[in-house]
Amino acid sequence: ELVYLNGWTGTFDEATISVNDRGFNFGDGIYEVVRVYESRLFAMDDHLDRLERSAKAIDLDLPWQKQELTAITEELLAESGISEAMVYIQVSRGTAHRNHIYNEEIKPNILVTVRSVPERSPAMYQNGVKLITQPEFRWQMCHVKSISLLGNVLAKNRAHRAGAAEAVFVHPDGTVTECSASNIFIYSNGQLLTHPADNKILAGITRKHVLAAAESLNLPFAEKPFKINELMKAEEVFFTGTIVELVPVVEVDGQSVAGGKPGPVTAKLHQEFTSLRK
């Protein structure tokens, strides 16, 4: 494990930041989580593009070029000696006495951490997982990868307490958007569907690469909203994220979905996702 903080490198125990950091006080910041496979950053450009889009959306001028961020991350990764890693990159607005109004001169704080990728249980992929639904109660800027994650945290913990792997957000009209920390797909009537990358979801990097895998397999797909009743009847359901990759879903709110077992399309897409990144 290793931490980079504003030019300093050391351990989690030694790293310190001001109590006036706006990330700490306001959740005023953005982040990325990047997967490292065999010592190589996967889709780093996609992540840095998204970091730049998030920064722009919150009126934050990133003082670092993408190349600098890549160099910082690669150096930390090499120093850590970890080959299967999870990289966390956080940029907060900066440090100043607590006041909603910030000075235009404020300097962002940057944190990068490298840790071993957390264990994922093989049972999750072999047997599938449970979801709970949650009425959408987050904000209108879900496309920003904001460190203000209270809504996501509440939803995921409700899922955890219910013995489920994820919580899926459902809008008042029944539209399914995404999960608390992942995107969601259904396979129905020979077509793969996922919500369009608008302000209601985070445009997942895994989502993008799964769509590329569908393309490469000649599997029909569309970025089109679908409703919870369609999900309940779908042939297959899975969610996607950087660390979990693709996870089959077999139960929603205690009801069996997708025939109660992981399906062949999910497995095929996962396989193609894996081979495309090599």
**Interaction site with ligand PMP (CB under 6 A):** 33, 152, 178, 181-183, 202, 204-207, 240-242
Whether 268 is a known active-site residue: answer no
Look at phi and psi of residue 163 and say left if phi exceeds 0, alpha if psi is from -120 to 50, else beta. left
Please measure the distance between the N-terminal and C-terminal CA atoms of the chain and give it in whole angstroms: 25
Q: Residue 76 or 181: which CB sits closer to ligand PMP? A: 181
> Position 87: which residue type?
V
- Given the residues 145, 156, 233, 268, select the one marked as catalytic: 145
Q: Residue 94 or 176: which CB sits closer to ligand PMP? A: 176
CB of 111 to ligand PMP, least distance (A): 16
Angle, CA 145 vertex, CA 7 and CA 136 arms, to 5°: 150
- The answer to whether residues 169 and 177 touch, using CB atoms and an 8 Å cutoff, is yes
CB of 244 to ligand PMP, least distance (A): 8
CB of 58 to ligand PMP, least distance (A): 16
- The answer to whether residues 45 and 85 touch, using CB atoms and an 8 Å cutoff, is no
Q: Residue 30 or 95: which CB sits closer to ligand PMP? A: 30
> Position 265: which residue type?
V
What's the farthest any 2 CA atoms get from each other in the chain? 57
Q: Residue 225 or 241: which CB sits closer to ligand PMP? A: 241
Residue nearest to ligand PMP (CB): 204
DSSP 116: E
Q: Report how far residue 195's alpha carbon sits from residue 147's, in angstroms, rounded to the nearest whole number.
A: 22
Q: Report how far residue 44's alpha carbon sits from residue 67's, in angstroms, rounded to the nearest whole number.
A: 10
CB of 245 to ligand PMP, least distance (A): 9
- Active site positions, annotated: 145
